[in-house]
Structure 1
Amino acid sequence: MKRIVAHNKKIEIIEDELPKLAGKPSYVLIKTLYSVISPGTELTILSNSENKQVHLGYSAMGEVVECGSDITDVKKGDLVACYGAPYVHHDEYLLVPKTLYAKVPDSVDPKEAALGGLGAIAIHALRIAKLQFGETAVIVGLGVLGQLIAKIANAAAYNVIAYDLHESRVEMLKGENIKAFSSVEEMEEAIRVETKSRGADAVLLCTGGKRSPLTHECLKWIRTKGKAVIVGDIEPDFPRSLMFGKEAELLISRAGGPGRYDSVYEREAIDYPYEYVRWTEGRNVEEYIRLIKEKRIDVRAFISEVVELEDAPKEFEKLLDKESTTLTQLIHYK
């Protein structure tokens, strides 16, 4: 099978062996139909690939071609969305544990389902923020993840205020009853007006760039006892005086939810008890699929650019250009 890897800071397509289901009763073998390029994460991987070969990708969907003996919720021919490296990559075939996929209904566009991993990350970020109905959430950074968070927060009836430097990204949220701005001053005025000068309940930082002045600025935007949630690749550099002055809560959102990086949950495919861990990364993928099925959110703007597998390397180079404003692309597998 073919797979896309980063090698010496370049994108390559290599041939590899087909994954084998033997000895894995709780796994399914999937023929990939679409996988999603995540520019932020994959740019970092690409830049760290000198003198080594690194696999890319973590969100995809495809058709089940074979099931392990313990699989009861899907069968051969079903479509599933799946999430999480090292089980999900830009590969023609994927071997995925039952805790990391969700069945895709016939009414859901397969391309939209491919965003399931990103959807799970966005949903988990909002869960970490612990917002209640009607509270004000400020989303900073409107890449594909920030866009998804803003849309899901709006669907949950939070009062959403969004900000990004790129006017084109701000425009993508116009018309959805989301207050979005490309000017910090305008965003700050919206926070003042919407909260009667009390401050937002939470700010979710979805930007990259490691050290960012936004970690200082965002504390000015939240209310006393408000929350700052790190979602993007930012160092948690927060001044003590502002943290102390507002008794602010600093939270870090890790990937798609409980279970991520736990070998028992992922590799051994042993789920957490539903009554004790209501929302795992797998159940967050399911929730994203529900939102799409019920048309609670519209992600069609994210799936307008589709590239064939053999053309992916050159498209990666364009997409990973730091000057690019493209949010993401889908890779299609024949």
Structure 2
Amino acid sequence: MRRIVAHNKKVEIINDEIPSLDGKPSYVLVKTKYSVISPGTELTILANSENKQVHLGYSAMGEVVECGSEITDVKTGDLVACYGAPYVHHDEYLLVPKTLYAKIPESVDPKEAALGGLGAIAIHALRIANLQFGETVVIVGLGVLGQLIAKIANTAAYNVIAYDLSKSRVDMLKEENFKSFSSVEEMEEAIRNETNSHGADAVLLCTGGKRSPLTQHCLKWIRTKGKAVIVGDIEPDFPRDLMFAKEAELRISRAGGPGRYDSVYEKEAIDYPYEFVRWTEGRNVAEYIRLIAEKRIDVSPFITETVEFEDAPQEFEKLLEKESTTLTKLIHYK
């Protein structure tokens, strides 16, 4: 099979063996149909690939071509959404544990299902914020992850205020009547008006760039005892005096939910007990699939561009050279 890797800050297509189910009764072998380019995460990996070969990608969907002996929830021919490196990459075939996939109903567009990994990350970020019905959340950074979080938060009946420097990204949400702004002053005015000057209940920071100046300002936007949730790749550089004065909570959202980076849950495919861990990363993927199946959120604006597998390296080059400002692109596998 072929797979896409980063090597010496370049993207290459290499050949490798199709993974085997031998000794993995709780896994499925998936023939990939679509995988998702996540610009923020993958460009960081690409930039750090000097003198080493690193696999890219973590969100995809495909057709089950073989099942381990302990698999009972899907069968050969079913479509599944898959999430999580090192099991999910931009590879023609994926060997995925049962804790990291969700079955796709026939009514769901396969392209939309491919965003399952990003959907799980967005859902987990909102769970970490631990908001109550009707509370106000400010979402800073409207890349594909911020956009997803805004839509899911709106569906959950939170009062959503969104901000990004990019007017085009702001306008994507304005088309759906979101309170979305490219001006900090206008956003701050909206927060005052929407909360009667008390401040938002939480701010979700979905930006990148490590040291963002917004971390110095976002505590001004939350109420006393409000929350700042780090979702993007930024350093938690917050002014202590303002954190102290507001008794603010700082929370960090780690990937798609409980189970991530736990070898027992992922590699050994042993699920957490439902009654003790209600929302694992795998269950969050399934919840994303439910949201799109029931038309609770519209993700079609994110998937306007599809590239063929053979052309993917050039697309990464465009992203790296900032010739493309797209939210994401889907890689199509024949």
**TM-score normalized with structure 1 length:** 0.99
Deviations 1:206-248 (A, max 9, x none): 0000011111100000000000000000000111101000000
Deviations 1:153-187 (A, max 9, x none): 00101000000000000010013231000000000
- Aligned position for 2:264: 264
Deviations 1:34-82 (A, max 9, x none): 0000000001100100000000000000000000000000000000000
One-letter amino acid of the counterpart of residue 28, structure 1: V
Are positions 1:23 and 2:23 aligned together? yes
Matches for 1:32-47 after TM superposition, within 5 Å: 32-47=32-47
- Aligned position for 1:185: 185
- Aligned position for 1:201: 201
Deviations 1:85-136 (A, max 9, x none): 0000000000000000000000000000000000000000000000000000
- Aligned position for 1:276: 276
Residues 166 and 325 in structure 1, CA contact (< 8 A), matched pair in contact too:
no
- Aligned position for 1:308: 308
- Aligned position for 1:115: 115
Alignment RMSD: 0.7
- Aligned position for 1:333: 333
One-letter amino acid of the counterpart of residue 70, structure 1: E
One-letter amino acid of the counterpart of residue 103, structure 1: K
Are positions 1:138 and 2:138 aligned together? yes
Secondary structure class of the residue paired with 1:75: coil
Alpha-carbon deviation of 1:323? 6.1
Residues 140 and 205 in structure 1, CA contact (< 8 A), matched pair in contact too:
yes
Deviations 1:291-315 (A, max 9, x none): 0000000000111100000000001
Residues 137 and 158 in structure 1, CA contact (< 8 A), matched pair in contact too:
yes
Matches for 1:101-250 after TM superposition, within 5 Å: 101-250=101-250
Secondary structure class of the residue paired with 2:174: coil
Residues in 2 aligned to 1:318 and 1:108: alpha-carbon distance in whole angstroms: 30
How many corresponding residue pairs?
334
One-letter amino acid of the counterpart of residue 332, structure 1: H
Give the unaligned 5+ runs of structure 2.
none
**TM-score normalized with structure 2 length:** 0.99
One-letter amino acid of the counterpart of residue 174, structure 2: K
Residues in 1 aligned to 2:90 and 2:323: alpha-carbon distance in whole angstroms: 24
Residues 319 and 328 in structure 1, CA contact (< 8 A), matched pair in contact too:
no
Secondary structure class of the residue paired with 2:43: helix
Alpha-carbon deviation of 1:322? 3.9
Secondary structure class of the residue paired with 2:173: coil
One-letter amino acid of the counterpart of residue 288, structure 2: Y
One-letter amino acid of the counterpart of residue 166, structure 1: S
Are positions 1:2 and 2:5 aligned together? no
Q: Calculate percent identity across the aligned residue pairs.
A: 87
Residues in 2 aligned to 1:278 and 1:321: alpha-carbon distance in whole angstroms: 42
Residues in 2 aligned to 1:123 and 1:150: alpha-carbon distance in whole angstroms: 10
Residues in 2 aligned to 1:184 and 1:174: alpha-carbon distance in whole angstroms: 16
Residues in 1 aligned to 2:41 and 2:235: alpha-carbon distance in whole angstroms: 15
Residues 88 and 96 in structure 1, CA contact (< 8 A), matched pair in contact too:
yes
Residues in 1 aligned to 2:241 and 2:101: alpha-carbon distance in whole angstroms: 44
Residues in 1 aligned to 2:279 and 2:34: alpha-carbon distance in whole angstroms: 25
Residues in 1 aligned to 2:272 and 2:177: alpha-carbon distance in whole angstroms: 37
